[in-house]
Amino acid sequence: MSHARTPTTARQATSAGPLPRTIVTGASSGIGRALALELARRGVPVLAVARHAEPLQALADAHELIEPWVADLSRIDEMDGLAAQWLLRYPDIGALVNNAGIQHDLRVDDAGYTAQDMRAEVELNLLAPMALTRALLPHLQAQQRAWVVNVGSVLGSCPKRTAAVYSATKAGLDLFTQALRVQMQGSPVRVVHAVMPLVDTPMTRGRGRGKIPPDVAAQALVRGLLAGHTDIRIGKARAAWHLQRWAPGLLARMLRTA
Ligand X SMILES: NC(=O)c1ccc[n+]([C@@H]2O[C@H](COP(=O)([O-])OP(=O)(O)OC[C@H]3O[C@@H](n4cnc5c(N)ncnc54)[C@H](OP(=O)(O)O)[C@@H]3O)[C@@H](O)[C@H]2O)c1
Interface mask toward ligand X for 187-206; x: CB under 6 A = ---------x-xx-xxxx--
Instruction: Tell the smallest beta-carbon distance from residue 103 to ligand X (Å).
Output: 6
H helices present in the chain, as ranges: 30-41, 53-62, 79-89, 115-122, 128-141, 164-183, 214-226, 236-246, 248-256
Residue 41: CB partners within 8 Å, gap ≥ 6?
A: 63
Q: What residues have CB less than 8 Å from 85, skipping those under 6 apart?
A: none
In the list 28, 133, 157, 230, the residue contacting ligand X (rule: CB under 6 A) is 28
| Interface with ligand X, residue 68, by CB under 6 A | no
Out of 16, 31, 59, 189, point to the residue binding ligand X (CB under 6 A). Answer: 31
Among 124, 126, 180, 240, binds ligand X (CB under 6 A): 124
**Could you list the active site residues?**
166
Asked whether position 99 contacts ligand X by CB under 6 A, the answer is yes
Give yes or no for residue 32 binding ligand X (CB under 6 A).
Answer: yes
By CB under 6 A, tell whether 172 contacts ligand X.
no
CA distances from 223 to 164, 228, 242, 256 (A): 31, 9, 21, 31
CA angle 183, 189, 193 (to 5 degrees): 80
Which of 46, 73, 132, 251 touches ligand X by CB under 6 A? 73
Contact flag: residue 171 with ligand X (CB under 6 A): no
Question: For residue 132, what are the CA distances in angstroms to 1, 41, 50, 223?
Answer: 36, 25, 14, 24
The Cα-based distances of 240 to 195, 205, 226 in angstroms read 10, 21, 23
Residue 36 found at the interface with ligand X (CB under 6 A): no
Query: Which window, 6-14, 46-54, 84-92, 105-113, contacts ligand X (CB under 6 A)?
Result: 46-54
Summarize as ranges the residues that interact with ligand X (CB under 6 A): 25-32, 50-52, 72-74, 99-102, 124, 151, 153, 196, 198-199, 201-204
